[in-house]
A and B are shown apart, each in its own frame.
Chain A
């Protein structure tokens, strides 16, 4: 059954506008909840916007539509960005966004598929989501379905051994219907990746596993869209290294480790929103 899928023919400036609105939502949500993860939420926005507004076959009216494309946000702490997009796409009311992390909210601190329409898998304990994406992609093959699975992982998350188990399985089962995207902002809660536990040459390592690897600027819509679409022709599993800036869009948060898991206070919210609005 073909649902009412709308792959919008949005222009670059329209995508840019949506991303700015999502970033503003993220700041407002975290300001209200007084907790959460701004850095990684802001770095992944442009990737998520491109996926949901240009690439993925989904229908917000039917969140559980069997043939939809799936997204597994394995770096689940970035979910405020995803919640904003899901609300703006119509999965639930935008008013819900300000209930983030509050008792009884449909918007949990980490993605919960049972509470939030549009969330395809409950994830957020780092390292576990990519395996679920592998299972979804394997399930699609087994059922002869042509939906695609997208997984977004974090760089710090790659220190989890299970990520490498899942990458191995992606290649073993030749899951060309799975695209893994690395939100490579180079920072994690305790410092830079290199200070904490170096990831080495990610591109060479992933290539050595057998992936088709694409390296892009994760804030350039043309590059994100280009990698997501040109990669479709490939018969191999795909891995996109998206170089991003943690805290992107809010200058006092950009590339700052301390903004990994700290909410902005009221003044900082005003400052951040003013900057995002170009004032």
Chain B
């Protein structure tokens, strides 16, 4: 029996826990507090919560000002409005002076579901990781979300935490070590290497199980930090099998796959494929059906791996 939990609720709970031990934690939202679950923080620490209204650009600037006053602001909204609408505010006002602002966004990727393409951020990893000083974390479940929030609060400087909307299976252990910039090997196999991030980590594990039954042993790596990327581990695990796929709930342009390719290119002779959303917008629909439609399932991984092994 697999436990399920919403990473968003884990985010809200983590903020409350953090708020208890550090009075410098302040939280900002842009009229989405119930969706992002920052409402949990507001209920406990009313004076340290600021609903800036539907004004994400202003929210990023105010967060910058609060960080300059000695606070550790967490600014939350949907991924599309954070990384998208407020991109330049994040770049110029927060990252350029390396301010201690944490941008934790929810509803990333196509699993936003029924709201459709306008609300499904599939470019945000690409946008955020291209900004100097920014760190990018994509937790794969509720447990990891909480750890990411604590880890982000501990380091100085801007961090982008990308959280998905759906309730998701718990696939990491409570006592597993979480370090920003350190990828986590979930299983090892001699035939193939799968690098996954976010909700796709679970799909990768499922695929590895199917492959195992077919006599193929795959390594699965949870790349929760896209930047700084754990280059050492990625090169090591890629070299071991010589065959790599990456999978992410994000455009194939500029995300995890690009980051891994940038790391491996010219260093090691490997075969590699990037699984993600193929330079197209999403659409309305049930999240699981959308994942199927856009080729982000365990079956898609199995198929790609089999093809590459037979090639």
The one of A122, A128, A135 in contact with B69, judged by C-beta atoms closer than 8 angstroms, is A135
8 A-B contacts, Cβ less than 8 Å apart?
Answer: A121-B68, A125-B92, A131-B93, A132-B93, A135-B65, A142-B26, A161-B57, A165-B55
- Whether A123 and B93, one on each chain, are in contact in the complex, defined by CB atoms closer than 8 angstroms, is yes
Which residues in A have some Cβ–Cβ distance to B below 8 Å? 66, 112-114, 120-125, 127-140, 142-143, 145, 161-162, 165-166, 168-169, 172-173
Is B300 among interface residues, defined by CB-CB distance under 8 A? Answer: no
Sorting the interface of chain B by its residue count into under 10, 10 to 19, 20 to 34 or 35 or more gives 20 to 34
Greatest chain A CB density within 10 A among B26, B61, B68, B69 is at B61
Is B266 among interface residues, defined by CB-CB distance under 8 A? Answer: no
Q: How far is the CA of A122 from the CA of B64 in the complex (A)?
A: 10
Q: How far is the CA of A253 from the CA of B47 in the complex (A)?
A: 49
| B65 neighbours in A (Cβ, 8 Å) | 121, 131-139
Residue of A nearest to B54 (CB): A165
Is B192 among interface residues, defined by CB-CB distance under 8 A? Answer: no
Which residues in B have some Cβ–Cβ distance to A below 8 Å? 26, 47-48, 50, 52-53, 55, 57-58, 60-71, 88-89, 92-93, 96-98
The one of A135, A142, A172 in contact with B63, judged by C-beta atoms closer than 8 angstroms, is A135
Q: How far is the CA of A136 from the CA of B99 in the complex (A)?
A: 13
Residue of A nearest to B67 (CB): A135
The one of B52, B55, B62, B68 in contact with A120, judged by C-beta atoms closer than 8 angstroms, is B68
- Whether B97 and A162, one on each chain, are in contact in the complex, defined by CB atoms closer than 8 angstroms, is no
| B69 neighbours in A (Cβ, 8 Å) | 135-136, 138-140, 142-143, 145
- Whether B50 and A165, one on each chain, are in contact in the complex, defined by CB atoms closer than 8 angstroms, is no
- Judged by DSSP, the binding face of B is helix
| B96 neighbours in A (Cβ, 8 Å) | 112, 122
A154 CB to nearest chain B CB (Å) = 16
The one of B55, B58, B60, B70 in contact with A139, judged by C-beta atoms closer than 8 angstroms, is B70
The one of B58, B67, B68, B93 in contact with A169, judged by C-beta atoms closer than 8 angstroms, is B58
Residue of B nearest to A115 (CB): B97
A36 CB to nearest chain B CB (Å) = 19
| B61 neighbours in A (Cβ, 8 Å) | 128-132, 134-135, 162, 166
Q: How far is the CA of A139 from the CA of B58 in the complex (A)?
A: 15
| B52 neighbours in A (Cβ, 8 Å) | 165, 169
B74 CB to nearest chain A CB (Å) = 14
A69 CB to nearest chain B CB (Å) = 13
Q: How far is the CA of A142 from the CA of B64 in the complex (A)?
A: 15
| B62 neighbours in A (Cβ, 8 Å) | 131-132, 134-135, 138, 166, 169
Q: How far is the CA of A133 from the CA of B64 in the complex (A)?
A: 9
| A168 neighbours in B (Cβ, 8 Å) | 53, 55, 58
**With known contacts A113-B97, A165-B55, A122–B66 Cβ distance under 8 A:** no
B265 CB to nearest chain A CB (Å) = 31
- Whether B97 and A165, one on each chain, are in contact in the complex, defined by CB atoms closer than 8 angstroms, is no
A179 CB to nearest chain B CB (Å) = 15
- Whether A131 and B60, one on each chain, are in contact in the complex, defined by CB atoms closer than 8 angstroms, is yes
| B63 neighbours in A (Cβ, 8 Å) | 135
- Whether A162 and B58, one on each chain, are in contact in the complex, defined by CB atoms closer than 8 angstroms, is yes
A113 CB to nearest chain B CB (Å) = 5
Q: How far is the CA of A113 from the CA of B68 in the complex (A)?
A: 11
- Whether B48 and A142, one on each chain, are in contact in the complex, defined by CB atoms closer than 8 angstroms, is yes
Q: How far is the CA of A127 from the CA of B65 in the complex (A)?
A: 14
| B66 neighbours in A (Cβ, 8 Å) | 135-136, 138-139, 142
Contacts A132-B65, A134-B58 known; 19 new A-B pairs at CB < 8 A: A121-B64, A121-B65, A122-B96, A123-B93, A124-B92, A125-B93, A131-B64, A132-B61, A134-B62, A135-B61, A135-B63, A135-B65, A135-B69, A136-B66, A136-B69, A138-B62, A138-B66, A143-B70, A165-B58
